[in-house]
Amino acid sequence: MRTIVETVRERALPAEVCAVISNKPDAAGLAWASEQGVATQVVSHRDYASRDEFDAALAAAIDAHEPHYVLLAGFMRVLTPAFVERYNGRLINIHPSLLPAFPGLHTHQQALAMGVQWHGCTIHFVTPVLDYGPVIAQGVVPVLAGDTPEHLAARVLGVEHRMYADVVGWLAEGRVVLDAMQRVRVHGIPSRSFVLTPTGVESSEGRYE
């Protein structure tokens, strides 16, 4: 979330982060966002008897800000199909694996258990199917000998921050198109992959230390 807010401001993108909403009152990001002058709100799932009631309250809080996009960042609740359909084509998530591999939780442990040599993360449009949807961009990191889930997670996180920042830029500039076949095209971006190299994260837009 912090990366998204800072990216919009530092790059002077034609957009603004209109609100940060969390289901956890103690989420550290709320305090930071408030310090930056961004509106914040808590919609606690514990205040509602059902997932449908919580999602309806969450949607009402979101709709009050009339956003073009809803960006999930560390939001760990499973959303109902009705909520997802409400924001069809506007709801974006980041997942710490190269989807469709390793959906759900404990992705880094799953990757090491399977013995894959490459791991990473995916930014995608959200659909009613968990951790499934049209891919906007993917980041790739090598799996190294002696890796632990913690080491692998840290390496993936560096790529996550870089690629989410660029995807936010693409969205703000109107480059991202979801076609009728549910495939993503990004105007002016020949490659939407981010690869961790010995000198930093490399993407179609350049290399970042």
What are the catalytic residues? 95
Q: Starting at the edge strand that comes first in sequence, how are the strands of the sheet with 135-142 ordered?
A: 70-71, 91-95, 118-125, 135-142, 193-197, 200-203, 206-208
Cβ-based neighbours of 27, under 8 Å, separated by 6 or more: 42
Torsion angle of the four alpha carbons 74, 78, 81, 83, in this order, in degrees rounded to the nearest 10: -50
Cβ-based neighbours of 7, under 8 Å, separated by 6 or more: 13, 164, 165, 168, 169
Q: Which token pair is 91? A: 């709801």
Q: Which token pair is 73? A: 């960042």
